[in-house]
Structures are given as C-alpha cells and as structure tokens.
Structure 1
Amino acid sequence: MAERMSGNATNLIYKKQGIVTPSDWDTFVEVLITPLPAAFRINSSSQFCEDIKSQLENDFMNSFKVETTYGDEVEAIRPLPWFHEFLKLENETGNITRQEAVNMVPPLFLDVHRDHFVLDHMCAAPGSKTFQLLDVNTNQQIKPGSLPDEMVIANDLDV
C-alpha cells in the first residue's frame, strides 16, 4: 500500500509540472513503465573480446535469424533463456558490461581519444560510462615512472 501511495504521490508531482498534456498522461505513464531492452557492451579490455564478438556475430545470430513470418509481419525477437545466462556469466567475469543503451551514448558523443583527459565530475557510480571511457584507452603500455597520455578522473560521493 505504501508503494502504491508513493507512486500516486510521484504521479501527482509529474502532473503538476505539466510535463505532458492531460490527454497524453496515460500514454506517458505506459512509456515510463515499459521495460527497457537488454543491452550490453563488450569490454575491449577483456582478453576474450574477439572471441565474444565472433560468438555473437556467428553462433548467436543464427538463433536470432530463426523468425516466423505471417504474410508481411515478422514475429518479434523473443527472450532466449540461454542468452540471459550468457549475459549474466560474461558480466560476472568482466567480459561484458550490462548497460542501458541510452547510457552508452554520452561517451560516444564525447569522441574520446587516447590522448584526452576526461573529468567525469557527475555521479560516477556505478561506473559503466566511466568504464566505457577507460575502455577506449586499453592496451597502452606505460613505462615505469611515467604518466599515461590520457586520464579519466571519476568523482562520486560514495567510495
């Protein structure tokens, strides 16, 4: 009941802000509660990066290509139980990062290169975008006693 009341209070706050017209309110709420698709990024710093890319491009794509068509309609891709397990395992071992697609966009727009210094001064936790920025700069050999040509400084209130 408390959860429902909290949701109602949140709805009231949104409504008072006039974010959408009253006639669009139900559509707005439906969009907000629609689950986001599973998305992930292959960590280029992983020693298995090329193997995972190959596996996804070859083996797994065959599973996705098996679609049923009805006239002009194509059945939507449906969740595959084994793929979820694949994502969990690869995420736990650090080979991929499960991350919402919308969160992968800012580092791409920054167009970070190996000689850039980046200050991630917003809340960095849990660190997926920060890790994505660091991933651009992988495999660089740093000489002992010297500094790298690039740097990512992440700042957050919680260590």
Structure 2
Amino acid sequence: MSRAENGRRQDLQKLPLRTRRQSKSKDPSRQERRSDSEHVLESKSFEDYYKAQEILSWEEFPLFLETLRRPLPSVFRVAEVGRLRDVVVETLDQFPQAMDGSPSFHRVSWYGNGHAYKTTASRKEIRNDENLSKLHRFLVSNHRIGAISRLEEVSMIPVSLLDVKPGHAVLDMCASPGSKTAQIIDLVSDSDGYSESLLIANDAD
C-alpha cells in the first residue's frame, strides 16, 4: 500500500461511519468501474453454459448472443379502469404522427382491445433523447398516477392466455411488481372499477 493510500485510509477512519461511506462512494475510480460494469454484456461462463447445451448450431450462436444484447423495446399498457383511459389512449394514438416513424411507435396488435403500445426506443433512449422528451414526460406522469403500466411485452401474455373474466376468483402467486395483477383487475372490473371477483396477490417479498 502506498503512503497516499495509507494516509487516505487513516483519514477515513477518523470520520463518522456515514461520512466514511459517502467519501468512499465519491471515489472517481470506483464510480468509473461501476459505470463500466453496467454496460458489459459479455460473460464467458454464460456463453460456455449455452454452448454446452447444444441447443443451437455454431452458425446460430452468434445471432443468439446478438439478440440477447439487443435492448428491449419499451412497452406500456393503458389501465382500463378509471376516467383517464380515453384521454390517455387518444394522446398515445397521436404520438406515431408526432414521432414521424423514428423510432417506430404503434399499438401491440395482438393484445385484446389494443390499449397497449410499443416503441423501438429503449427506456434509456426515451429518457435521454430530446426528440422523445414529450413522450417521456407523458409516460412518467401517467405511470405515477396509475393510468399506464410500463412492462415487457411478454409479461402481458400469461394473463391474456388465462382468459380471466368478471366473476372469477384469481390467485396471483408471483405478483411483484404488480403489472400482471393490474392487468387482471382490468379484466374482472367494469369501467367504473366495480367487480364481484376475488383477486389475491401474493409474492415472496
């Protein structure tokens, strides 16, 4: 250990524990390493494991990895229960024209009544792209009040396949963070939120 490092350690030991932790977190080298690690999308162990399964040919494997590294599209579902639904849907239907096709923005065609939307822009792009700032503000504000649920497209499939109807009793055994639970509520409730169904949402947390 160098004298400088030893001196820094001694200085930190003189500080209260909370301040000591804050000082460590402000170390530029630590922050740089943490930032770099957030963007590493490679793992030799991961690749070796899937190669050993022999479920893909050697020609298909690079495409498999490329697909896994591709950012997921941003998907959001409009809550059917509540007075804001029609206003939210009307506003979202206007975004494709405003965005002029780049990135693409459209309804999820297979989803029930069509009140789910998808854009090829990732969450990071929506947050950081100035051209998408209006969409970002709209999504954030309506997500906070429960008018929109942000989720992955595949998360909407299980509830859709269950064919849940008003009057059903539903036990959701893996309810966190709640997007599928909210989807179930929409299916068993009328437009005013009234329902004679029973829904129990449970999770390990």
Which bin holds the TM-score, normalised by the shorter protein? Answer: 0.7 to 0.9
Structure 1 residues 86 and 135: CA distance shift in structure 2, 3 A: same
Question: Using CA pairs below 8 Å that are at least 6 residues apart, which structure has the higher relative contact order?
Answer: 1
> Higher helix proportion, which one?
2
Note the residue ranges of structure 2 that are not aligned, 5 or more in a row.
1-32, 105-119, 122-131
Note the residue ranges of structure 1 that are not aligned, 5 or more in a row.
68-74, 142-147
Please say if 1:112 is aligned against 2:167: no
**Paired residues, what number?**
142
Matches of 1:101 and 1:48 in 2, distance apart? 22
Deviation at 1:155, TM superposition (A): 2.2
Matches of 1:60 and 1:76 in 2, distance apart? 11
Matches of 1:81 and 1:119 in 2, distance apart? 38
Which SS does the other structure have where 2:63 is aligned? helix
TM-score for the superposition, normalised by structure 1: 0.76
Larger C-alpha radius of gyration, 1 or 2? 2
Whether the aligned pair in 2 keeps the contact of 1:46 and 1:94 (CA below 8 Å) is: no
**Residue deviations 1:69-110 (CA, integer Å, cap 9, x gap):** xxxxxx763753321221122112211000111111111111
Matches of 2:66 and 2:76 in 1, distance apart? 24
Root-mean-square deviation (CA, aligned residues, Å) is 2.6
TM-score for the superposition, normalised by structure 2: 0.60
Aligned match of 1:30 = 66
Which SS does the other structure have where 1:39 is aligned? strand
Aligned match of 1:126 = 177
Structure 1 residues 8 and 87: CA distance shift in structure 2, 3 A: same
- 4+ runs of 1 displaced by more than 4 Å? 3-6
